[in-house]
Homo-oligomer: A and B are copies of this chain.
């Protein structure tokens, strides 16, 4: 139990930055070139490049270069590990709450007797 998820840190870290999240939602509409992505952010190209490489290392986007143009696209299944972890946690956390509920109910029942 307690799986090891080596890439969760990369994934969550990539998602922790608002600029990167906005790039992702931008890419969700359609693939885009680096310059197109830089535009709305107001950031310089090298800065955006860095964000893109963080996203790519986290597996969230894939890029390919055609001529002088690099096109970026989302990798939809990349979010799965994060979703899975969150779901697992929620399940465990809620199970604990249920046990707590049961305990409280028991105490109340005993008191009522």
Binding site for B on A (CB under 8 A): 2, 8-9, 11-13, 15-18, 21, 24-25, 28-30, 74, 76, 79, 82-83, 85-87, 89-90, 92-94, 96-97
Contacts and interface: CB of A to CB of B under 8 A. Distances in A.
Contact of A13 (B12, B76, B96): B12
A94 B79 contact: no
Q: Which 10 A-B pairs have the closest CB atoms?
A: A12-B16, A13-B16, A76-B93, A12-B15, A28-B92, A12-B12, A83-B86, A28-B93, A9-B16, A79-B86
Main secondary structure of the interface of A (DSSP, over half): helix
Nearest to A82: B86
A96 B15 contact: no
Contact of A86 (B30, B86, B96): B86
Nearest to A99: B30
